[in-house]
A and B are shown apart, each in its own frame.
Chain A
């Protein structure tokens, strides 16, 4: 049994017949994911525009809403997500060097961080529900003691933005688990790892959106 140091003997790129080279196959796959990322940026972008628009219209009401958020929770979640992005990135590096065991460990850490993020999110939501801070017309204005009758609008944005982001985190957990299982099975190596690269790009976009959501919701308000 030879190691993979000299030739790419045991590991081949398996170039599909409609591609000229392995490099072309790889960059085509990546290009598709980038096009998908484009739609993600624009989807969240539209919600950000909505937030800025209503924030300009009702600045005091948005300030009142932002006061009820605990920035420490958002801060810890930011650190957790950045660390998970780091472990996702190094997992690809390990696969490129045929260090699959280390890659599995890095992917497992990524899933763990994503789970921690969702648990913190769960406690945040739970606390908000307890206080009666529901979105839109469901907001319990009397229980909250809201200064602004339309405070529910702020929480409409809060739940939409963090909720849509949370759904992405959960989808990410599923996709990274799929990558982890396939890495364990030995599907990925120095010549083939496009699925991990694609899921990685998706996961970094999830991190990227949170990088903007954290100051927007928790700090600036």
Chain B
């Protein structure tokens, strides 16, 4: 078959992630889960930093899943845009609620 598959509209040209990459990502995810629990042992010392540290590790884990397991790293620009839009609206939701909370004057009902 001398046919050039690169020009054939009926042939799919997938991006195949090497198995080793999946192994590395899975290992990193396991490691970061252990790190989450390990860091939590020091939550008294960290005080108000305990929650941001835990969520920062979660964010790194989420990025690994999104980029490699969900293949967003090698995906089309449109799909990356769709995903980014989701987080823009999420940030809007969090941001406006945070402003509301920070500026609210506590009032107590006389009833």
Given A41-B86, A82-B29, CB of A30 within 8 Å of CB of B12: no
Q: When chains A and B are docked, how far (Å) is the Cα of A211 from the Cα of B85?
A: 21
Q: Chain B residues with Cβ under 8 A from A192's Cβ?
A: 12
**A85 adjacent to chain B (CB < 8 Å):** yes
A204 touches B86 (CB 8 A): no
- Residue in contact with B90 in the complex, picked from A22, A35, A42, CB distance below 8 Å: A42
B19 A41 Cβ-Cβ under 8 A: no
Size class of the contact patch on chain B: 35 or more
Tell which of B61, B69, B90, B94 has the most Cβ of chain A within 10 Å.
B69
CB pair A22 B26 closer than 8 Å = no
The complex places the Cα of A211 from the Cα of B1 at a distance, in Å, of: 48
Q: In the complex the two chains form, is B93's CB within 8 Å of A49's CB? A: yes
CB within 8 Å of A: which residues of B? Answer: 1, 3, 5, 9-14, 16-17, 19, 22, 25-26, 29-30, 33, 36-37, 40, 43, 50-51, 54-55, 57-58, 61-62, 65-66, 68-70, 75-76, 78-79, 82-83, 85-87, 89-90, 93-94, 97, 101
Q: Could you list 26 A-B pairs, sorted by A, with CB under 8 Å?
A: A7-B5, A13-B11, A15-B10, A22-B9, A23-B13, A30-B76, A37-B83, A38-B83, A75-B37, A82-B30, A86-B69, A89-B69, A93-B19, A192-B12, A207-B69, A208-B62, A211-B62, A212-B55, A212-B62, A215-B36, A215-B58, A216-B55, A219-B43, A219-B50, A220-B43, A220-B54
